Amino acid sequence: MSENNESLADDVMGDLQSEAVEGDLAVLTADLQRLQAEYVNYRKRVERDRAVAHELAVGAVLTELLPILDDLNRAKEHDELQGGFKAVADQLINVTTRIGLQSFGEVGSVFDPQIHEALMHSTSAEVTQPTATAILQPGYKYKDRILRAARVAVTDPE
C-alpha cells in the first residue's frame, strides 16, 4: 500500500506542477500579448506624430512663401511676368501646387469668418447674406490647415 500511496502522491504532485506551469504560461502569454499591443499602439502614435510634424514643417515653409506668391500674382495681373522670370514664377507656383498648397477665395461666396478676414464692409440690397464681393488677397490652405485666411471686402444686406 505504501507503494500505491507514493504513486498517488507522485500523480497528485505532477498534476499540481502541471497546473502551476499552465497557470504561469497563461500569465506570461497574457503579458506578452499586452506588451505586443502596447508596442503596436506606440508605433502608430509615433507614425502619427511624425506625419503631423511633417505637415507642420511643410506648412511653415509654405507660409513663408506666401508673400512671394502674392507678389507673383500681382505681377501677373499687371502683365509684368515675362521671359525667364515668368518661367521661374510658373515653376514656383507648380511646385507649391504639387506639394498641396491650395488657393481659395472667390468673389460672390458667402462670407465665412473661419476662412475669410473682412477688411472692408459695405451694404447693398443686391445680397441676401454677408457676401465676399472682392478678394483683396487670396487665402491659402495646406491639407486641412488654413495657412492664411482670404482677405476680402464684405457686402452685408441692407
Give the pLDDT confidence of 88-107 residue by residue, as tens digits.
Answer: 999 999 999 999 999 999 99
For residues 91 and 119, state if they share a domain. Answer: no
- pTM attached to this predicted model: 0.72
For residues 25 and 78, state if they share a domain. Answer: yes
What CATH number should be reported for the domain holding residue 13?
Answer: 3.90.20
> Looking at residue 4, what is its pLDDT?
66
Q: Kindly state the cell numbers that stand for 110.
A: 458667402
135-146 pLDDT tens trace: 999 999 999 899
* Torsion angles phi and psi, residue 62, rounded to 5: -65, -35
How many folded domains does the chain comprise? 2
Please report, rounded to a whole number, the percentage of residues in the chain having pLDDT higher than 90: 75
Q: Kindly state the cell numbers that stand for 60.
A: 511653415
Q: What are the start-end ranges of the H helices in 78-108?
A: 83-99
For residues 94 and 118, state if they share a domain. Answer: no
Residue in the block written with cell 502683365: 79
Instruction: Give whole-number Cα distances, 76 to 12, 95, 105, in Å.
Output: 93, 17, 18
What CATH number should be reported for the domain holding residue 115?
Answer: 2.30.22.10
For residues 73 and 85, state if they share a domain. Answer: yes
93 CB-near residues (< 8 Å, 6+ apart):
69, 72
Q: Would you give the DSSP letter of residue 14? A: H
12-42 pLDDT tens trace: 666 667 777 888 889 999 999 999 999 999 9
**DSSP 3-state assignment of 109?**
coil
